[in-house]
């Protein structure tokens, strides 16, 4: 039996990553132990105020849904704004401060978070429809329009410029 030696070729150089100038991130943040501590007006108001203050740092919070034990949001960062990780840490701190008067025991948050860069306006709409219907799938309401802990702070437009 004749053996043929395969010539091992070097791997091609990895392409540099290509990102949109101002990507839209889809972010999910979970509570510690998935405790249902988020669906109340205190947390919702703290979240909205945090999102409005973010505009001063050229950060736009788009659509969002706050579930009992996690929250989903879309966010975009302008030039020279803070990192996504630093911003999420700040958001967690702001909501934790709002939870203190209610004597909600800490820790409030799981370490880390999930994020995904959206690649098109279509994927933004698809993710939003999924997020918007999360309370319905969880059996908390019958219609997504009835969920009081969601909305939109800034209209995010998908930027196709590189």
Structure tokens at 88: 């999420």
Residue 10 lies in a domain: no
Q: Which residues contact 23 (CB under 8 A, 6 or more apart)?
A: 76, 77, 117, 118, 159
Query: In this structure, is residue 96 part of a structural domain?
Result: yes
Question: Is residue 40 domain-resident?
Answer: yes
Residue 113 falls inside a structural domain: yes
CA–CA distance, 105 with 110 (Å, rounded to integer): 14
> What CATH number is attached to the domain comprising 35?
3.30.70.1290
Domain count, the chain: 1
Domain extent, residue 40, equals 31-152
Name residue, tokens 């860069």.
117
Query: For every one of its 162 residues, what pLDDT tens digit does the chain have, with 9 covering 90 and above?
Result: 555 554 565 655 543 444 556 789 999 999 999 999 999 999 999 999 999 999 999 999 999 999 999 999 999 998 888 999 999 999 999 999 999 988 888 899 999 999 999 988 888 899 999 999 999 999 999 999 999 999 999 999 876 443
Cα distance between residue 57 and residue 51, in whole Å? 10
């Amino acid at each position: 039996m004749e053996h043929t030696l395969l010539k091992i070729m070097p791997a091609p150089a990895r392409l540099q990553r290509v990102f949109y100038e101002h990507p839209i991130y889809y972010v999910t943040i979970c509570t510690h132990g998935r405790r249902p501590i988020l669906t109340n007006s205190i947390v919702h108001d703290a979240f909205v105020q945090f999102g409005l203050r973010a505009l001063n740092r050229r950060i736009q919070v788009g659509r969002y849904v706050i579930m009992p034990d996690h929250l989903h949001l879309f966010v975009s960062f302008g030039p020279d704004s803070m990192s996504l990780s630093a911003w999420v840490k700040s958001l967690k701190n702001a909501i934790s401060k709002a939870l203190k008067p209610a004597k909600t025991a800490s820790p409030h948050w799981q370490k880390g978070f999930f994020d995904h860069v959206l690649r098109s306006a279509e994927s933004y709409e698809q993710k939003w429809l999924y997020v918007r219907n999360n309370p319905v799938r969880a059996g908390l309401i019958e219609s997504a329009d009835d969920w009081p802990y969601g909305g939109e702070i800034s209209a995010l437009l998908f930027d196709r410029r590189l």
